[in-house]
Structure 1
Amino acid sequence: MKFIVVRVEVTPERPHGLSYSLTLHDGSGERLVGFDNAHAVSDVKGPSGKGKRKFDHKHRLRTIRPYDYRDAATLLQDFWAEVDAVLREKGVLK
């Protein structure tokens, strides 16, 4: 697990004033779960998605999806729920 959270200036990309990265990695260092706002992702695939880009997003195994950031407490709750789901999928948790 690795959590990095830094208070930053409020911008259109980070309207909540936080730069964050919450990640879970396996033993070889591969990211299994990640929630961050380090770069933009599209809400929509294809050319129509170019104008609808968000910085808040989640990584789950090898997929990236936009994430609707509400507040820090919900972010933590959503992160741990995703960690539990992936660990169950991988057979680590029952």
Structure 2
Amino acid sequence: MSEDRDPSLDTLLNLHGQVLVVDPAGGHWVKFIVTRVPVSSEKPHGLDYSLTLHGPSGERLVGFDNAHPVGRQKKGEPQDHRHRFQTVKPYAYENAATLLADFWQVVDAVLKERGVL
């Protein structure tokens, strides 16, 4: 096993395709899309990922992904970023465990703002 192998990566990859209802009464849910891809300058972690929180009508409220460039980003730069309502900001990917923790922290904050938690 490589010393730089992220031990939390398997946990993240195992969430691929999962949809979890986080608010049965109000209809909020999260979805995970996580696949391995060849390492590139845009995706240096070898992952294509999208972790999202959706509201009752399906609208995306929160998203962490690396599916597209953000703002004035140049070709070849990492595409990691996060969405919170209509705001998009770069995200500094560290590892799978931190990504999951950061995602759930923002999900909890949004659900509290909406009076769900």
Could you say whether these structures have the same fold, taking a TM-score greater than 0.5 normalized by the shorter chain as the test?
yes
Offset at 1:50?
A: 5.1
Report the equivalent of 1:41: 70
TM-score (norm 1): 0.86
Report the equivalent of 1:92: 116
Pick closer, same or farther for the CA change 1:74–1:19 going to 2, 3 Å.
Answer: same
TM-score (norm 2): 0.70
Report the equivalent of 2:61: 32
Offset at 1:54?
A: 4.2
How big is the alpha-carbon RMSD for the aligned residues of Structure 1 and Structure 2? 1.5
Q: Distance in 2 between matches of 1:92 and 1:18?
A: 31
Correspondent of 1:55 among 50, 54, 79: 79
Aligned residues: 87
Deviations 1:19-57 (A, max 9, x none): 000001011010011000000013xxxxxx454964100
Q: Percent identity at matched positions?
A: 66
- Cα pair 1:13 1:54 within 8 Å, conserved: yes
SS in structure 2 of the partner of residue 41 of structure 1 = coil
| Aligned pairs for 1:73-88 within 5 A | 73-88=97-112
Report the equivalent of 1:18: 47
- The structure 1 segments of at least 4 consecutive aligned residues displaced by more than 3 Å after TM superposition are 49-54
Which 5+ residue runs of structure 1 have no aligned equivalent?
Answer: 43-48
